[in-house]
Amino acid sequence: MINNYDANSDRDAGSTKARALEITPGMYPHNYMSDVDTMDVFKFKADGTSSYSFKVRPSSAQGLLSLQAVDDDSVQLGQSTAPNRGTVAKLEGLKLAKPGYIYVKVSYDQYEAKGPYSLAVGVGDVDSPPPPPEE
């Protein structure tokens, strides 16, 4: 059975800011998107002085992940797509002018390449997440 829960939680990350799954800095190896769950939105508290990094890696060598980060006012802080299939997509240097939330939207670029992915978030530079475990 496929576990559709995200980031060590008991629920799926929503596809909107209002349904975003709150996370703290760390490594999250179990996340999943499918044909009906095409975007995951995560949020994390930023202190207004630090810069943050967010990285994702697909399980499939064919997977191509994209990221977009926005603040509480939906102002875009950055966007990125992995440089090639099966590799890490990353947003680095995410920073807010004052304490608040950063929302990161994760999606697959290609319809046929859904499935598990891993993510890492943290202050400064973070290690790239390892590939997610096989289902």
Sign of the dihedral defined by the CA atoms of residues 84, 51, 42, 11, in that order: positive
Task: Give me the residue spans of the domains in the chain.
Answer: 17-118
Kindly report, residue by residue over 68-105, the tens digit of the pLDDT.
999 999 999 999 999 999 999 999 999 999 999 999 99
- Phi-psi map region of 88: left, alpha, beta (phi>0 left; psi -120 to 50 alpha): beta
- The pLDDT value given to residue 112: 66
Kindly report, residue by residue over 43-53, the tens digit of the pLDDT.
999 999 999 99
- The pLDDT value given to residue 35: 81
Candidates 3.40.50.2020, 1.20.120.80, 1.10.3470.10, 2.60.120.380; correct CATH number of 17-118? 2.60.120.380
**One-letter identity of residue 116:** P
Cα–Cα distance between 42 and 121 in angstroms, integer? 10
